Amino acid sequence: MTRFLPWLGPLSMATAFALLAWSTWGKWPDVQVDFGTELYLPWQLSEGKALYRDIAYRNGPLSPYANAVWFLLFGVSIRTLVFCNLALLGALCALVYRFFSVSLGRLTATVCGLVLLGVFSFSQYVGIGNFNYVTPYQHSQTHGLLLSVAMIVALSEYLRRPTLGWCVFAGGCFGLVFLTKSELAVPAAAAAA
């Protein structure tokens, strides 16, 4: 029994992830009000248009071009973005669990992961809006947050095992945060400091 205890937290988070995805399936986006831009930009980029030249955009180029790559690889569809966002959400959950399990223990990490999933990841608290991670209002926000958390985890790993690779990875993540949404660079810089 004790050999299964380390897997209890990740297993409960994976179960919550699957149940929340299943119970909220197809109820996340409001395509006409908010999510249309998040579909239109990468679609146009995958068709050959260029950001800032052909398409006006106020944030960094990473998210629209990343979503355009998903469209080129898997087809232009809202389902493409949903599945890719679910994969990125899974990565975020793994990073959150890793950080908190090392610093505060597995129980705290499990609770933090479950709160992330239950409160923020699949929620739709108002009638109109995309305030969730599956179909976000702006991918630049969720991508920037994921990169910031990856940077924090890399820096914490560097403190545990000081190797240059962790610093390079953290610096790469920090640089990519600037390419998502400039406002996210301030808290990322504070966390890095």
Q: What is the predicted pLDDT for the residue at 2?
A: 44
Q: What is the predicted pLDDT for the residue at 64?
A: 94
- CB of 155 within 8 A of CB of 192? yes
**Whole-number average pLDDT of the chain:** 87
Its pTM surpasses 0.75 = yes
User: pLDDT per residue over 51-106, tens digit each?
Assistant: 998 988 889 899 999 999 999 999 998 899 999 999 999 999 999 999 999 888 88
User: Which pLDDT band, with edges at 50, 70 and 90, does 7 fall under?
Assistant: low
Q: What is the predicted pLDDT for the residue at 137?
A: 83
In angstroms, the CA 28 to CA 129 distance is 8
Is the per-residue pLDDT at 11 higher than 60? yes
Q: What is the predicted pLDDT for the residue at 83?
A: 94
Is the per-residue pLDDT at 129 higher than 70? no
Burial of 25 (0-12, 13-18, 19+ CB in 10 A): exposed
User: pLDDT per residue over 106-122, tens digit each?
Assistant: 889 999 999 999 888 88
